[in-house]
Amino acid sequence: MASYNLLLLPGDGIGPEVMAEVKKLIDLFNKKGIAKFSYEEGLVGGACYDAHKVSITDATMAKAEAADAVIFGAVGGPQWDKVPYEVRPEAGLLRLRKDLGLYANLRPAVTYPALADASSLKRELVEGLDIMILRELTGGVYFGEPKTITDLGNGQKRAVDTQVYDTYEIERIGRVAFELARQRGNKVTSMEKRNVMKSGVLWNEVMTDLHAREFKDVQFESQLADSGGMQLVKNPKQFDVVVTDNLFGDMLSDIAAMLTGSLGMLASASLGEVNPKTQKRKALYEPVHGSAPDIAGKGIANPIAMIASFGMALRYSFGMGKEADMVDAAISSVLAHGLRTGDIAAKGEATVSTAEMGQAIAEEIETAAS
Ligand code: IPM
Ligand code: MG
């Protein structure tokens, strides 16, 4: 049996609470002999700042580089609002993405039948929804230089962020989009602002060329990102794979998350290039939701996005598609049985705790696996 080495980075806020539910699944897979997972834990974000005055240490980065996959919780919280910008909690996550080269961020938005009424949109608009937001994750305005605030000396300051994309960065994320589409609904929608931004012009040009050159069998269209956002809430089922840059992807994926009922439902995988020698790729799996400081420590957070992110690790890092399907089916089943954490409960509906939700999912998987 293959054995895999995981690095768990629970982070801040609800991160450790939802990560505890992933550990239940790791233990279960080990106990059942389905896989052999070993794991180490590390600090990231505010938790790391408190201990080491940085948001991730070099030692933890080295472990992340060596791990078969990093499983990440969430970072941030109001207690770190005033720490220096370079060491703010989010910087730890951004360093992981950048240094591990995790350029492809897959954020699938799937509406589980039992939750169609939890969406802020009408049931018929979101029922059966299954789209993939593919976000470019290591370029664009997140990392472009210069990135500065300059004192102009006249009582004014000037802030600069730089949106920058090279052809190869657009092309490689485009390739992931078209390849994903071939395994799904065979349609790619690229979103940018070519009417205002040079990076949008190049983005569109590269995507259009790539499609014509290598992926003619896939349906392809471009939408301006603002109108695309509107279409996401107007008629989300028109989409299959939406490919977009780092910043638009950040926003559009939060929108897509709400289509499914709650941010607490959306999982994500961040993948690097496949190493031709080992055939392995660096990968980090994290829920799209944040650290939710308002409910942290209360044991009421929804662990589904975190658990589904671990499911994505099974699928994309360990070739365990069958087991990943089992995780998804278990989530679907506990929801169908009416289990709800507070974020997905209708008014007056009974709610369960983080641990109860995690336990119920683990039990479903255990039954399916035996
Ligand atoms: C996300 C988050 C991050 C981002 C933050 C925490 C830096 O919002 O993963 O969507 O902006 O990318
Ligand atoms: Mg975000």
pLDDT at residue 257, rounded to an integer: 87
| Structure confidence by residue, pLDDT tens digits, 350-368 | 999 999 999 999 999 999 9
Long-range contacts of 331-338 (CB under 8 A, 24+ apart): 331/112, 331/304, 331/307, 331/361, 332/112, 332/113, 332/114, 333/364, 334/360, 334/361, 334/364, 335/112, 335/114, 335/115, 336/112, 336/113, 336/114, 338/114
pLDDT of residue 270: 98
User: Tell me, what's the pLDDT at 2?
Assistant: 80
CB 136 within 8 A of CB 97: no
H or E element in which residue 60 lies: helix 58-66
Q: Does ligand 1 have an atom closer than 6 angstroms to the CB of 179?
A: no
pLDDT at position 84, please? Answer: 97
How far apart are the CA of 217 and the centre of ligand 2, in A? Answer: 32
- Residues with a known catalytic role: 142, 193, 226, 250, 254
Q: Please name the helix (run of DSSP H) or strand (run of DSSP E) that holds residue 40, with its range, or none.
A: strand 36-41
The answer to whether the CB of 93 is under 6 A from ligand 1 is: yes
Site of tokens 């709650």: 262
User: Residue 263: its pLDDT value, please?
Assistant: 87
Q: Give 213 Cα–ligand 2 centroid separation in angstroms.
A: 32
Mutate to test the pocket of ligand 1, among 107, 250, 285 (most ligand atoms within 8 A of CB): 250
Within 10 Å of residue 217's Cβ, how many Cβ atoms?
10
The list of the chain residues with pLDDT below 70 reads none
Residues with CB under 5 A from ligand 2 (ion): 250
What number of CA atoms fall less than 13 Å from residue 75's CA on the CB side? 28
CB of 245 closer than 6 angstroms to any ligand 1 atom: no
Q: H helices of 157-284, where?
A: 167-182, 198-214, 225-234, 246-259
